[in-house]
Amino acid sequence: MEYLRRNSGPRRPHYCGFIKDWQISNTSSQRFLGTRPRVILTLIRAHESAVRAELHHNNKFGITENFGIKDFLVADRHFHVKKSNNPSAHLARLRYAYSCMLTAIGYIPKGVILAVDEPPQIATSALMFTFMDGYNDPTGKWRGIPRSSIYLCPAARTLGDDSFVYAMIHELAHFANKGVDDHAYFHKQRHVYEHLSTELAFGNADCYAHFAFEAIGKSNFNIRMGMPEIQ
């Protein structure tokens, strides 16, 4: 249950999963192909929410003051934009981060499908792993494997559907953006997660996954449980 963080290597998530026979496909990458539409839809909802939050704060078009207020409050919950010296710039950064994730997963035409099965010689015992900004490093290598992929390990097949989507968004946050690392995890370090600085929150992959899940009505999602926590 530990992540190893490396600036030049992969971050290796060790999530807890629950095996259900009907969820297991032949390979983890086949599982990804089946859930990819849900990942894309969740990212679209997150991007829309980020746009509304930005419009609410900037109010460039004279929109009613209540438009986007919920989205702005959710952005503040996960990224602490009210503490920022430049909330407008941080909200634009949030919107752009989800645009990059949509590009990487292939929804925006520049992207391609990048999720592949973990090579047997690597055997990280993780669920998934990838490289920070690996999408923009098409020629880079680590231990002989390209940095330009998200690697799905056999254990990923044990995740429930929601947990699989959540983990993919977490990985995409690392993969498609510069400087997105792991500083705190909601499911194991919630107090730390909730008290990150603005800059650390914007550099924390779990914040992007949680913002996206809140955009689809699954606030306080716990990947260990495979469902939102009861408040």
DSSP letter for each residue of 24-61: --SSHHHHHHHHHHHHHHHHHHHHHHHHHHHHHHH-TT
pLDDT over 50 at 11, yes or no? no
pLDDT at 126 over 90: no
Mean of pLDDT values over 172-183: 96
Statement: residue 17 has pLDDT above 50:
no
Residue found by looking up tokens 């207020």 in the block: 69
Report, as an integer, the average pLDDT of 107-133.
78
Question: What does the pLDDT average to over 147-160?
Answer: 89
- Please choose, from the candidates 149, 67, 72, 158, the residue with its C-alpha nearest in 3D space to the C-alpha of residue 113: 149
Give the containing element (helix H, strand E) for 129: strand 128-131
> Please, what CATH class does the domain formed by 10-228 belong to?
alpha beta
Residue 225's pLDDT is: 78
Q: What is the mean pLDDT of residues 150-177?
A: 93
**Type of residue found at 97:** A
pLDDT of residue 218: 94
Decide which of 123 and 4 is more confident. Answer: 123
Read off the pLDDT of each residue in 23-40 and give the average, rounded to a whole number.
77
Domain-wise residue ranges, the chain: 10-228
Choice among 34-48, 76-90, 105-119, 201-215 with the minimum mean pLDDT: 105-119
- Asked if residue 181 lies in contact with residue 11, where contact means CB atoms within 8 angstroms, the answer is yes
pLDDT per position as a tens digit, 128-147: 999 999 999 988 998 888 89
CA pair distance 219, 231, nearest whole angstrom: 10
The C-alpha angle 23, 28, 30, rounded to 5 degrees, equals: 85
List the one residue out of 164, 149, 156, 151 whose CA is nearest residue 122: 151
pLDDT band at residue 13 under the 50/70/90 scheme: very low
Phi-psi group of 209: left, alpha or beta (phi > 0 → left; psi -120 to 50 → alpha; rest → beta): alpha
Q: What is the pTM of this model?
A: 0.85
Q: Which amino acid is at 165?
A: V
Q: What angle do CA 123, 7, 97 make, to 5 degrees?
A: 100
Q: Is the dihedral of CA 196, 94, 70, 215 positive or negative?
A: negative
